[in-house]
Amino acid sequence: RLIRANEADIAVCGGTEACMNIVSLGGFAAARSLSTGFNWAPAQASRPFDVSRDGFVMGEGAGVLVIEALSHALARGAKPLAELVGYGTTADAHHVTSGPEDGDGARRAMQVAIAQAGISPLEVRHLNAAGGLGAIFAILALRDQVAPPTLNLGAPDPAGDGIDFVANQARPMAMDYAISNGFGFGGVNASALFRRWTDELAGANAREAHN
């Protein structure tokens, strides 16, 4: 938003997480948030959208995105990976750790992002359900035209009937738009909508700037 308002040329957006300690593990364990049904096979424990899911697996990591005005990127000789075309945020104020069962806040965040981009929801071919690092996966999915897999999906939840979860194996997929979501504690929801970057898009942006 600062870049769109010409208040900044570039923003470095990133974060790190180093939470493998007794306090963090103990807290999430006490909240019954961690998976315990696959202790014998930890690699199988993370299984979103599967009927046998029973919690998440803690990990550590870091990631950074550089978001900048197109003119600034081209001036320094950078090749854009994707265009950020929509962004939505909402607050549920529902519960300290869980969102409302109807997903209202999450839905509204995505609707705002899609409305900003001026497209139909049907044009969004890839959706990252949650997680900050997922934005990087979404951008790479657009660049490479490959849909990332949903791991350990053996028995999809019937509530997701009709949804292509890209079970277990990545596969080629033509896509122009991908949305990445981050839903945090306290009901903080954010959705970022990205468009695939092409040379034709670069030319169109240049002509628009010239006019």
How wide is the angle at C-alpha 165 spanned by C-alphas 64 and 16, nearest 5°?
Answer: 20
- The segments of the chain whose pLDDT lies below 70 read 203-211
Residue 24 to residue 28: CA distance in whole angstroms: 6
- The pLDDT value recorded for residue 184 is 85
> Exposed, middle or buried, 111 (CB in 10 Å: 0-12/13-18/19+)?
middle
Q: What is the enclosing helix (H) or strand (E) of 159? A: none
User: Is residue 76 classed exposed, middle or buried when 0-12, 13-18 and 19+ CB atoms within 10 A define those classes?
Assistant: exposed
pLDDT of residue 26: 93
**CATH number corresponding to 83-211:** 3.40.47.10
pLDDT at 91: 92
167 contacts: CB under 8 Å, gap ≥ 6: 149, 150, 153, 156
Assess contact for 202 and 190: CB atoms under 8 A. Answer: no
Domain ranges of the chain: 83-211
| Residue at token pair 């979501």 | 181
Residue 194's pLDDT is 98
Rounded to the nearest 5 percent, the helix, strand and coil shares of the chain are 30, 25, 45
What does the pLDDT read at residue 208?
59
* pLDDT, tens only, 89-144: 999 888 887 788 888 999 999 999 999 999 999 999 999 998 778 999 999 999 99
What is the pLDDT at residue 177? 98
- Record the tokens describing residue 82, joined without a space: 């994707």
Residue appearing with tokens 């790479």: 140
Closest CA relative to residue 189, chosen from 121, 119, 100: 100
